């Protein structure tokens, strides 16, 4: 498997974070109403959020398989990318929950009366509130996922194994004169 240089991994994670942010903004600015309109506008968002989950898992798998990244100290980068995948999956759940709460305006089952206009308005009003909460939750999850990916991109771009450092990939911090082993002044 070809090794990706750290800068390449960082740009891929930042690009993916940009896709999270774009979907977040699209959900926040979505103009919709309960019924068929919600299905037509929200259905494609579910598919896009699922593709973000898949893409994030692919980045996590690639990073985990990369021998250079396994040499980096700690597993926080992989955990952070896994958190982004979780956020994307939660966004899928929230978007799907909004679809579940949608009062679809179809013909009633045989033997059931069609709702009155007043009942229909009340059902739509209640559904609009619940659906808006699910959409806000989905947008929040996507925002959290984008933050995770930006954080992971920053750590993969700056942490390289270094044979001459005290610990691979960690910057050397100068100690103050007369400082103890932790860098704090001795009393």
Residues in the chain: 187
Q: What are phi and psi of 179, to 5 degrees?
A: -80, 150
State the greatest distance between any 2 C-alpha atoms of the chain, in Å, as a whole number: 88
- The pLDDT assigned to 149 comes to 95
Dist. CA 141–CA 131, nearest whole Å? 15
The three-state secondary structure class of 104 is coil
Dist. CA 94–CA 77, nearest whole Å? 26
What are the helix (H) ranges across 36-75?
36-65, 67-70
Dist. CA 54–CA 183, nearest whole Å? 44
Q: What are phi and psi of 185, to 5 degrees?
A: -60, 140
Torsion over CA of 126, 23, 49 and 138, rounded to 10 degrees? -40
- The pLDDT assigned to 120 comes to 81
- The pLDDT assigned to 67 comes to 60
The tens-digit pLDDT sequence of the chain (187 residues) is 445 555 588 899 999 999 999 999 999 998 887 777 888 889 999 999 999 999 999 999 988 887 655 555 447 888 999 999 999 999 999 999 999 988 876 666 677 777 788 888 888 888 889 999 999 999 999 999 999 999 999 887 554 444 444 444 444 444 455 545 444 444 4
- The pLDDT assigned to 19 comes to 98
């Amino acid at each position: 498997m070809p090794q990706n240089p750290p800068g390449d991994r960082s740009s891929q994670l930042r690009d993916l974070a940009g896709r999270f942010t774009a979907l977040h903004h699209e959900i926040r600015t979505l103009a919709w109403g309960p019924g068929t309109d919600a299905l037509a506008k929200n259905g494609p968002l579910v598919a896009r959020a699922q593709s973000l989950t898949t893409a994030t898992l692919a980045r996590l798998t690639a990073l985990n398989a990369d021998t250079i990244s396994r040499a980096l100290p700690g597993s926080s980068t992989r955990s952070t990318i896994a958190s982004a995948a979780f956020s994307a999956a939660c966004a899928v759940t929230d978007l799907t929950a909004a679809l579940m709460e949608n009062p679809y305006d179809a013909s009633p089952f045989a033997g059931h009366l069609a709702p009155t206009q007043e009942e229909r308005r009340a059902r739509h009003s209640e559904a609009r509130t619940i659906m808006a909460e699910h959409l806000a939750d989905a947008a929040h999850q996507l925002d959290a996922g984008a933050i995770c990916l930006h954080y992971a991109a920053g750590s993969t771009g700056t942490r390289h194994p270094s044979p001459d450092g005290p610990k691979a990939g960690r910057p050397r911090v100068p100690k103050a004169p007369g400082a103890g082993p932790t860098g704090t002044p001795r009393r």
